[in-house]
Amino acid sequence: MKLNKVDYNAKSIFDIDINFFVSLNIKAIISDLDNTLDQFNVLRPSSRVVKLKDELQQNQIQLMIVSNNHEKRVKQYAEVLNVKYLANARKPFKKRLLKFLESNGLKAEEVILIGDQLLTDGKLARNAKIKIVLTEPISKKEQFTTHFNRLIDRPLRKRYRKNGQLGIKCPVRKDQDKLF
Ligand SMILES: [Mg+2]
């Protein structure tokens, strides 16, 4: 039997039924920023991100951002959203993420990663032994550096999908309009 490359998949973070996280007893969602929450050149969180964060909070789930992007970009975004963050995360390497979790009193089994790239987010999850939801990039626009990763990510994802290695599809939320 081939091992799954990721545990779960979803179209986007906004498509996932909140009860899914509740049922996993998740304390925090560790989300990627660019193309998972917003497009890379969107400097302030869009309203659906703010609404999602509030909704998660009402369910005692913290939203946190872990990004490979630089401090200035991530800080600006995360501070407006009022969430904890780790910039320059060096995904897929696990060292900085694990330190970040530890400093926030979180264990690996209490969190779930969400990200749009197999090479960074997906590999990080494997390296750190943390559950992950792989999403589709929310926009085709991406930074130059990401563009190269994407050239590998796309065919890889296609192959994993074909082999049924993208894990379980997350239950879709029925009230998506609530976020818009
Ligand atoms: Mg991304």
CATH number at residue 85: 3.40.50.1000
Distance (Å) from CA 47 to ligand 1 centroid: 19
Any domain includes 180? no
Instruction: Report the separation in Å between the CA atom of 141 and the middle of ligand 1, taken as the mean of its atom positions.
Output: 11
Find, among 79, 80, 73, 120, the residue nearest to 96 by Cα: 120
Average pLDDT over the chain, rounded to whole? 94
Q: Could you tell me the pTM of the whole model?
A: 0.94
- In this predicted structure, the answer to whether residue 175 has a pLDDT above a threshold of 90 is no
Over residues 112-125, the pLDDT tens digits come to: 999 999 999 999 99
Instruction: State the residue range of the domain holding 61.
Output: 8-173
How large is the average pLDDT for residues 28-43? 96
In a domain, 52, yes or no: yes
Distance 1 CA to ligand 1 centre (A): 29
Residues, beta carbon < 5 Å, ion ligand 1:
32, 34-35, 116
CA–centroid distance, residue 57 to ligand 1 (Å): 23
